[in-house]
């Protein structure tokens, strides 16, 4: 593999390790997670659907990297250019946002048993977005998609099918997160705090995903 391909694979590995640590912490250290609890409560059919959805999410997220892996290393061995640097910046920036948001939420919930905190987090990055971790997730996959193009020269030669393959990654990332995890968390939050005027003020003041939108 070329240097560009190697760096992309390293970035994807970092994402996998972060996700493993995130999920492992919630279940092993915190003791439970309401999403995983549903797998046991709703039976085998729901469990099959949930794990299949999770596997599909990961597979579709990697579409841009599948294409990059399929390219001859000679076609991606050129010097890293502005498109690559933009992509790596977005990846690092998104990963940083996601990690900081998770750590802030862990700290906020640390003194409570899992699921027993009766307040919502509205400080730090969570004062800019109701789901800054998902905002970071979307940005990092957008960044890796840019790098997976193989540089500006490859971008000029790409056909529409190849462009569609690369764009599958960021489009799928935002679509899946918004219409599954984000909607589930918003519904759960409304059920717990929707009757409170302070929470309604928080929702009016803080955008659901991207700051300023």
| Residue range 21-66, pLDDT digits in tens | 888 877 777 666 666 666 667 778 877 887 888 888 888 889 999 9
| Residue range 64-116, pLDDT digits in tens | 999 999 888 888 877 889 999 999 999 999 999 999 999 999 889 887 776 66
Tokens standing for 43? 């039976």
Average pLDDT of the segment spanning 179-193: 90
The pLDDT of residue 25? 78
Across 18-27, 174-183, 190-199, least confident range: 18-27
Q: Specify the higher pLDDT residue, 13 or 30.
A: 13
| Residue range 125-145, pLDDT digits in tens | 999 999 999 999 999 999 999
At how many degrees (to 10) do helices 63-70 and 43-61 cross? 50
The pLDDT of residue 118? 84
The pLDDT of residue 39? 67
DSSP run (H or E) holding 146? helix 132-148
Give the long-range contacts of residues 82-88, CB within 8 A, separation 24 or more.
Answer: 82/152, 83/146, 83/147, 83/149, 83/151, 83/152, 83/155, 84/4, 84/146, 84/147, 84/151, 86/143, 86/146, 87/143, 87/144, 87/145, 87/146, 87/147, 87/148, 88/7, 88/11, 88/143, 88/147
The pLDDT of residue 33? 66
Q: Specify the higher pLDDT residue, 151 or 101.
A: 101
Please state, rounded to an integer, the average pLDDT across all residues of the chain.
Answer: 88
Average pLDDT of the segment spanning 144-171: 90
Q: Is the confidence at residue 185, as pLDDT, over 70?
A: yes
């Amino acid at each position: 593999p070329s240097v560009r391909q190697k760096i992309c694979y390293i970035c994807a590995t970092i994402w996998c390790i972060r996700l493993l640590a995130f999920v492992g912490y919630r279940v092993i250290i915190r003791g439970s997670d309401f999403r995983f609890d549903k797998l046991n409560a709703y039976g085998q059919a729901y469990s099959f659907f949930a794990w299949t959805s999770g596997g599909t999410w990961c597979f579709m997220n990697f579409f841009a990297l599948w294409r990059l892996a399929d390219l001859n290393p000679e076609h991606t061995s050129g010097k890293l250019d502005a498109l690559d640097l933009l992509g790596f910046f977005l990846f690092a920036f998104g990963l940083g946002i996601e990690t900081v948001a998770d750590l802030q939420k862990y700290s906020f919930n640390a003194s409570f048993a899992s699921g027993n905190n009766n307040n919502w987090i509205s400080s730090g990055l969570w004062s800019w977005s109701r789901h800054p971790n998902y905002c970071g997730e979307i940005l990092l996959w957008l960044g890796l998609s840019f790098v997976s193009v193989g540089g500006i020269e490859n971008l000029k030669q790409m056909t529409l099918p190849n462009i569609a393959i690369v764009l599958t990654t960021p489009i799928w990332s935002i679509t899946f997160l918004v219409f599954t995890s984000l909607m589930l968390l918003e519904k759960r939050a409304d059920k717990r705090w929707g009757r409170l005027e302070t929470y309604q003020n928080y929702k009016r003041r803080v955008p659901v995903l991207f700051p300023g939108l």
